[in-house]
């Protein structure tokens, strides 16, 4: 009887540890939003200059909200990046994200 209680306790601890480790170290590829996986061509977790330029459909050196939306970037994400509020993203505004 005492042995079965110890065994059950050990199983519960093992399951809790397993779940805790899975939560603490998620698979980075699956934890990124789909639009970021699509944008981050080299899978380095950053938006590089070439990746930034791929968004610039009209090649004016800026990313409009329409260009970002067409790529699948949510509007609320784009608005966080538009630091100066001019309605477009410059490469300078993307530097904190690896641009």
pLDDT of residue 99: 56
Asked whether residue 35 is assigned to any structural domain, the reply reads yes
CA dihedral 15, 18, 23, 25 (to 10 degrees): 180
Alpha-carbon dihedral 76, 41, 59, 79, rounded to 10 degrees? 10
In a domain, 51, yes or no: yes
pTM: 0.58
8-state DSSP, 81: H
Q: Identify the domain containing residue 85 by its residue range.
A: 28-97
**How many angstroms separate the first and last alpha carbons of the chain?**
62
- pLDDT tens, N- to C-terminus, the chain (99 residues): 788 888 888 899 888 888 877 666 555 445 777 777 888 888 887 788 888 888 899 999 999 999 988 888 888 888 888 989 999 988 888 776 655
Q: Within 13 A of 63's CA, how many CA atoms are on the CB side? A: 30
pLDDT of amino acid 60: 93
Number of domains in the chain: 1
Task: Judge whether 18 lies within some domain.
Answer: no
Position 4 in a domain = no
pLDDT at residue 52, as a whole number: 84
CATH of the domain at 76: 1.10.238
């Amino acid at each position: 009887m005492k042995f079965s209680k110890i065994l059950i306790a050990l199983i519960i601890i093992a399951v809790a540890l397993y779940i805790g480790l899975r939560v603490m170290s998620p698979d980075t590829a699956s934890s990124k939003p789909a639009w970021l996986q699509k944008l981050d061509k080299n899978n380095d977790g950053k938006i590089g200059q070439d990746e930034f330029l791929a968004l610039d459909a009209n090649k004016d050196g800026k990313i409009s909200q329409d260009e970002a939306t067409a790529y699948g970037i949510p509007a609320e994400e784009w608005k966080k990046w538009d630091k100066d509020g001019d309605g477009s993203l410059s490469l300078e505004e993307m530097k904190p994200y690896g641009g």
